[in-house]
């Protein structure tokens, strides 16, 4: 047997340690030759100068990538402040955090979003490396808000889906600056056209008060509520007039250019959700399930969904226009107990054919229980919410007595002596097809104490025969208010309205739309009675 010399083993050990230390020592040696000492200040100086080779040597020599200097700054922050994007990329790939704060508490993502000529490749790089799109600066602005305010529509498109909670605030900022391209993009991602600021202003009011005519016209095309009033009781036209934009004020007062009902703002006609048989999973075949469905209409109140902050004109949870408040809406001439044809949709808005199902000639699920395999469909995960298209009737109930209602006709100028009328039960509201059926004086407790007047006026549309409930102080939505929904896998798009009933092909379950809100869809399972809330995001 050969025995190793202890001296030989020691030599091998020393050589091994030396070999491990050689890269670090070599890096230190090179730094000294380049005029750098192994100090945090020198490391930061190299980063600020964009000297990638030197920074690489610092890291090889053992410098921590996010080590802070005496002033609390890091190499990333110094490089970002100097606009050294190449250095920023290198540091991030070496492990530096992307969400470090720069001047004003802004992240680099926020900074780049605010540059109208910003480097989109850099923005994409930060997002790919998990930069926090929801981070706020010292003024509580996110990257999406800053991008919208700056008019950086490319940044807005990249950030909107990553920061859904900021959509409305970004929309208000874009309206105040008149950035029409950003407004269009935010609407497509689901921003609420009639959202409110902290002081009760709408995007239309901001655009009108700043004299942004093109933004005003765009908002009106998307059914912005020109009759809405701020906390001081002023409308968008009055704000424009107060700011000396007389022509713009006249445009806002002129209701002859209102977009006709049923005509979408972007000329895109989306099929109704009502009566649809939808396959949510990629491997589902609607033809197999179509025969098993026996559609029906619920005789239950669809409005018992979970509460949400009341949207503009939402009547505090009361049915929008076109709904009776006791059952989902039915097409005119259809009975509540009448079966509804179910459409098998394989392409939805993409224009592929739909086929009606004849229930009498098809087998039912009970006759062939093995024909459908049980599948779980998670609707909140399988549906994506799109645009919220909201329209209002230009009617405002201002007071209610025992047998009459005081009504403000908002399409008439305030100087018109007939802009405010008293309407008795049995009379028709002027300039409309609504006949007053009943008036009810009602109050409810207020959140901060006291009471709130929520008196109601029940009306009937003498054309469609549908009943509606108008609530004091709230603009009623018209019957075409809807929320666009999209299946995440097949990208089918539908317009969801209050009372619509649709069927999930994989489970054969039917759902009724209980409520539509700017950022929520509430549906009820007609078999179990369970209520699901589908949130934007």
Provide the pLDDT confidence category of residue 152 given band limits of 50, 70 and 90: very high
State the average pLDDT over residues 500-523: 94
The span from the CA of 130 to the CA of 98, in Å, is 7
Percent of the chain with pLDDT over 70: 76
Pull the structure tokens for residue 524.
Answer: 């009820």
Query: What percent of the chain stands above pLDDT 90?
Result: 53
- Residue ranges per structural domain of the chain: 1-97, 276-389+479-535, 395-444+452-471
Query: Across all residues in the chain, what is the average pLDDT?
Result: 80
- pLDDT band of residue 258 (cuts 50, 70, 90) is low
pLDDT tens digits along 270-286: 899 999 999 988 544 44
Decide which of 264 and 323 is more confident: 264
Lookup: tokens for 465: 């025969």
> Distance (Å, rounded) from C-alpha 504 to C-alpha 382?
11
pLDDT band, residue 5 (cuts 50/70/90)? low
- DSSP state letter for 269: -
What is the reported pLDDT for 129? 96
The four Cα atoms 252, 229, 219, 147 give a dihedral, to 10 degrees, of 130
Residue 533 predicted with pLDDT over 70:
yes
Contacts for 60-64 with beta carbons within 8 Å, 24 or more apart?
A: 60/23, 60/24, 60/27, 61/24, 61/27, 61/28, 61/31, 62/24, 63/38
* Beta bridge mates, 356: 343
Assess whether pLDDT exceeds 70 at residue 345: no
142 or 36, greater pLDDT: 142
Residue 503 structure tokens: 């069927």
Taking the whole predicted model, whether its pTM rises above 0.75 is answered as: no
Residue 392 — pLDDT band, cuts 50, 70, 90? confident
pLDDT at 298: 39
Q: Give 120-123's long-range contacts (Cβ < 8 A, gap of 24+).
A: 120/154, 120/155, 120/158, 122/85, 122/88, 122/89, 123/155, 123/158
49 dihedral zone (left: phi>0; alpha: psi -120 to 50; beta): alpha
CA distance 143 to 157: 11
**502 or 314, greater pLDDT:** 502
Determine the pLDDT at residue 368: 52
Mean pLDDT of 320-326: 38
Fold of 1-97: 1.25.40
Whole-angstrom Cα distance, residue 414 to residue 461? 25
* Cα-based distances in Å from 187 to 184, 220, 481: 5, 13, 15
Q: Please, how many CA atoms are within 13 Å of residue 300, restricted to the half-sphere of its CB?
A: 20
Residue 231: predicted pLDDT: 82
Query: Per residue in 60-74, pLDDT tens?
Result: 999 999 999 999 999
Query: What is the residue whose two structure tokens read 């713009």?
Result: 248
């Amino acid at each position: 047997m050969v025995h190793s010399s202890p001296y030989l083993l020691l030599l091998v050990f020393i050589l091994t340690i030396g070999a491990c230390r050689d890269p670090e020592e070599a890096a230190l040696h090179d730094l000294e030759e380049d005029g750098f000492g192994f100090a945090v200040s020198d490391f930061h100086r190299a980063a600020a100068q964009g000297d990638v080779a030197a920074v690489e040597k610092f890291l090889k020599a053992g410098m921590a990538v996010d080590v802070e200097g005496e002033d609390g700054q890091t190499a990333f922050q110094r490089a970002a402040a100097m606009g050294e994007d190449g250095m920023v990329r290198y540091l991030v790939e070496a492990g530096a955090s992307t969400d470090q704060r720069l001047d004003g508490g802004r992240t680099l993502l926020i900074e780049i979003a605010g540059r109208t000529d910003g480097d989109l490749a850099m923005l994409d790089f930060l997002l790919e490396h998990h930069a926090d799109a929801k981070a706020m600066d010292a003024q509580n602005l996110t990257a999406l808000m800053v991008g919208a305010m700056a008019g950086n529509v490319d940044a807005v498109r990249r950030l909107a889906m990553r920061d859904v909670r900021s959509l409305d605030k970004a929309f208000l900022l874009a309206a105040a600056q008149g950035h029409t391209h950003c407004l269009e993009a935010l609407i497509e991602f689901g921003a609420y056209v009639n959202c409110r600021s902290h002081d009760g202003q709408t995007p239309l009011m901001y655009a009108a008060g700043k004299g942004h005519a093109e933004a005003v016209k765009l908002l009106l095309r998307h059914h912005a509520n020109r009759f809405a009033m701020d906390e001081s009781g002023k409308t968008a036209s009055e704000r424009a007039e107060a700011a000396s934009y007389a022509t713009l004020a006249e445009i806002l007062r002129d209701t002859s250019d209102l977009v006709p009902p049923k005509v979408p703002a972007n000329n895109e006609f989306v099929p109704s959700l009502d009566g649809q048989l939808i396959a949510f999973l990629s491997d589902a075949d609607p033809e197999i399930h179509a025969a098993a469905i026996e559609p029906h209409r619920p005789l239950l109140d669809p409005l018992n969904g979970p509460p949400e902050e009341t949207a503009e004109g939402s009547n505090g949870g009361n049915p929008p226009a076109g709904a009776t408040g006791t059952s989902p809406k039915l097409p005119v001439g259809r009975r509540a107990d009448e079966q509804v044809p179910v459409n098998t949709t394989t392409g939805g808005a993409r224009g592929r054919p739909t086929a009606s199902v004849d229930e009498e000639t098809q087998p039912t699920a009970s006759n062939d229980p093995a024909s459908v395999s049980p599948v779980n469909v998670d609707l909140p995960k399988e549906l994506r919410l799109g645009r919220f298209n909201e329209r209002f009737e230009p009617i405002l109930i201002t007071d209610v007595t025992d047998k009459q209602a005081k009504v403000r006709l908002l399409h008439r100028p305030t100087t018109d002596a007939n802009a405010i009328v008293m309407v008795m039960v049995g009379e028709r509201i002027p300039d409309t097809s609504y006949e007053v059926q009943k008036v009810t004086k009602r109050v409810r407790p207020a959140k901060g104490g006291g009471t709130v007047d929520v008196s109601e006026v029940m009306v009937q549309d003498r054309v469609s025969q549908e009943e509606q409930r108008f609530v004091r102080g709230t603009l009623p939505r018209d019957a075409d208010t809807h929320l666009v929904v999209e299946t995440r896998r097949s990208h089918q798009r539908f317009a969801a309205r209050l009372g619509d009933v649709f069927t999930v092909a994989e489970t054969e379950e039917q759902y009724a739309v209980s409520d539509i809100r700017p950022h929520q869809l509430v549906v009820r399972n007609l078999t179990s009675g369970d209520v699901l809330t589908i949130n934007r995001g």
